[in-house]
């Protein structure tokens, strides 16, 4: 498993420009997938239906589904083993960016642009359909490719209509966890969680028209799932480009 300490070594190692091969291990998703970020907690009694729904979304090729376990439910009696203050900070940043008055779980943020209750699959399915069908004026697309090879995690980004500067984020996640809950609101339940985020880091900035980034593959490959590369407007703006590369 990836740890906060080992993951921080990536930032210390710094970034290097890289030229990616046009073939081989590079991975790209087409059409540009919709990014669905779930903010959840094992201590929240209303979250298991949203967790199960995220598992179904995780199986889709046109969706990148990510589960961020927040820490503000831990006081209720069950400390979520995947909770991280950085995940709560990301949700608070979305609260400000989206103009929401409060934090809530389960919350799904779609493409960094709109949110919905995570257990409302009908509403989220509708938003995903709208995002996939949106024209370039409504949903600018940045093409992103990523690969793990020769000891490096590489990302190549091409601007095809991005309206402003963006952050390049790497999100490492485990594909699946099953946890027996012994205290709190979900006492006695065996909960399944999917695409559980273990760490998120900014690895660069993008201003167009193209850029290649490279960081050491370790410890990224220590997660049992994958790594999502997100190109997101500054200050937690809309996500304009995304891809993923599997580590298992």
Which domains are assigned to the chain?
4-246 (3.40.30.10)
Q: What is d(CA 223, CA 232) in angstroms, rounded to the nearest whole number?
A: 23
Contact 174, 235 (CB under 8 A): no
**pLDDT tens digits, residue range 105-122?**
999 999 999 999 999 999
The overall average pLDDT reported for the chain is 86
Task: Report helix, strand or coil for 54.
Answer: helix
Residue 2 Cα to chain centre, angstroms: 15
pLDDT at 141: 80
Q: What is d(CA 192, CA 178) in angstroms, rounded to the nearest whole number?
A: 4
Q: What is d(CA 77, CA 35) in angstroms, rounded to the nearest whole number?
A: 31
**Where does residue 37 rank: exposed (0-12), middle (13-18), buried (19+ CB within 10 A)?**
buried
Contact 227, 170 (CB under 8 A): yes
pLDDT-derived band at 136 (thresholds 50, 70, 90) equals: low
Is the pLDDT at 14 greater than 80? The verdict is no
Q: What is d(CA 231, CA 243) in angstroms, rounded to the nearest whole number?
A: 9
Edge-first strand order for the sheet with 142-149 is: 142-149, 152-159, 210-216
**pLDDT tens digits, residue range 60-85?**
999 999 999 999 999 999 999 999 99
């Amino acid at each position: 498993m990836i740890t906060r300490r080992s993951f921080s070594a990536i930032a210390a190692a710094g970034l290097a420009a890289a030229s990616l091969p046009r073939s081989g291990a590079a991975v790209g998703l087409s059409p540009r997938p919709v990014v669905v970020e779930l903010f959840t907690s094992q201590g929240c009694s209303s979250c298991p239906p949203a967790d199960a729904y995220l598992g179904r979304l995780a199986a889709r090729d046109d969706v990148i589904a990510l589960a961020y376990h927040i820490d503000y439910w831990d006081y209720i009696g069950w400390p979520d083993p995947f909770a991280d203050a950085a995940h709560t900070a990301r949700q608070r940043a979305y609260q400000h960016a989206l103009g929401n008055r409060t934090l809530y779980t389960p919350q799904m943020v779609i493409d960094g642009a709109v949110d919905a209750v995570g257990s409302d699959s009908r509403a989220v399915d509708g938003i995903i359909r709208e995002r996939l069908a949106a024209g370039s004026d409504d949903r600018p697309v940045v093409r992103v490719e990523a690969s793990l090879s020769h000891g490096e995690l590489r990302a190549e980004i091409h601007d095809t209509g991005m309206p402003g500067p963006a952050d390049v984020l790497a999100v490492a996640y485990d594909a699946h966890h099953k946890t027996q809950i012994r205290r709190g609101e979900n006492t006695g339940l065996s909960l399944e969680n999917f695409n559980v985020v273990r760490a998120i880091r900014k690895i660069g900035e993008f201003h167009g028209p193209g850029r290649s980034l490279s960081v050491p593959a370790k410890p990224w490959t220590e997660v049992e799932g994958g790594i999502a590369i997100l190109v997101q407007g500054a200050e937690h703006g809309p996500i304009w480009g995304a891809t993923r590369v599997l580590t298992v």
